Amino acid sequence: MSLQQIIGILSGAFLATGAWAADINTLQSLAQSEFKNFAKDLTGALSYKGVAPAVPLGVTGFDVGLSLSGTQMKHSSLWQKASGYDLSVLPVPKLHVSKGLPFGIDIGGFYTSVPTTNIKLWGAELKYAVLEGSALTPAVAVRGAYTKLDGVSQLSFDTQSLELLISKGFVGVTPYGGVGVVRSKASATLPAPFTLSSESNTATKAFVGLNWNILLGNLAVEYDRTGSNDTLSAKVGIRW
């Protein structure tokens, strides 16, 4: 699936959510190798995506926004087995909140309940600006993050990620990018006599984005590739 197709799906994702239901509730239909690939898709879709540049917010700074991510499911047939819906792209809306602290540190997090699914997800991040940036130099930061899946009785799933970010502002527009690594763990709780062993996955990630500030208004878009999964995200809100 191309990024152009993902953009099209993102644009209509909220309108389309009422037309499908994809509760994860039949994991017993998966073989062990299929569960492993299913968990890889989850890693791409549910790992942390900050959708923000490296530059720190500062002691008085806040970033509050609503985002929507669309992640390409590389194994859509497995989603049909696990949920009854052949899901090619998983849309994940989120409420993000970040706060600046002294010494170039930002803390933040998000929460989501994905419409028409039993997926509930929360995450938290800690970001430290190694270089805070200036008119001439870029900002460089390190971010550690964690996400946890709730609401799916058959599945326990979480991710931990570590990323290096760089960004440079130009009169209200800040391009940024980064690389990192994501580790996830998926464990299934199934009715007897079905069993699936836990699966751990480590994936590399790379991302690029663009952040616009107009007064207090903020718009950011980001492309992320985690493992073999492509994600496009957009966020609107206020940032100061």
Residue pointed to by tokens 């989603």: 79
Residues in the chain: 240
Percent of the chain with pLDDT over 90: 81
Give the angle 197-201-205 at the CA atoms, nearest 5°. Answer: 160
Where are the chain's structural domains? Answer: 3-239
Supply the pLDDT for residue 10. 47
pTM: predicted TM-score of the whole model, two decimal places: 0.90
pLDDT (mean) for 3-22: 49
In contact, 140 and 147? CB cutoff 8 Å:
no
Supply the pLDDT for residue 216. 85
Supply the pLDDT for residue 84. 85
Least confident of 10-19, 77-86, 133-142, 191-200: 10-19
Closest CA to 101 of 139, 140, 61, 146: 61
Tell me the CATH number for domain 3-239. Answer: 2.40.160.20
Retrieve residue 100's tokens.
């600046």
pLDDT (mean) for 123-152: 96
Residue type, 27: L
Peptide bond into 93 cis (omega under 30): no
CA distance 38 to 21: 18
Supply the pLDDT for residue 116. 83
pLDDT at 102 over 70: yes
Q: Which long-range contacts (CB under 8 A, 24 or more apart) does 110-113 make?
A: 110/67, 113/151
pLDDT at 18 over 70: no
- pLDDT tens digit string along 120-133? 999 999 999 999 99
Average pLDDT, the chain: 91
Supply the pLDDT for residue 11. 44
Give the angle 53-54-56 at the CA atoms, nearest 5°. Answer: 105
Q: How confident is the model at residue 20 (pLDDT cuts 50, 70, 90)?
A: low
pLDDT at 19 over 70: no
pLDDT at 193 over 70: yes
DSSP category for residue 216: T
- What distances in angstroms separate CA 102 from CA 59, 69, 96, 178, one per listed residue? 5, 30, 20, 23
Least confident of 33-37, 75-79, 159-163, 199-203: 75-79
pLDDT at 220 over 60: yes
Strands 105-113 and 120-131: antiparallel
* Greatest Cα pair distance in the chain: 63
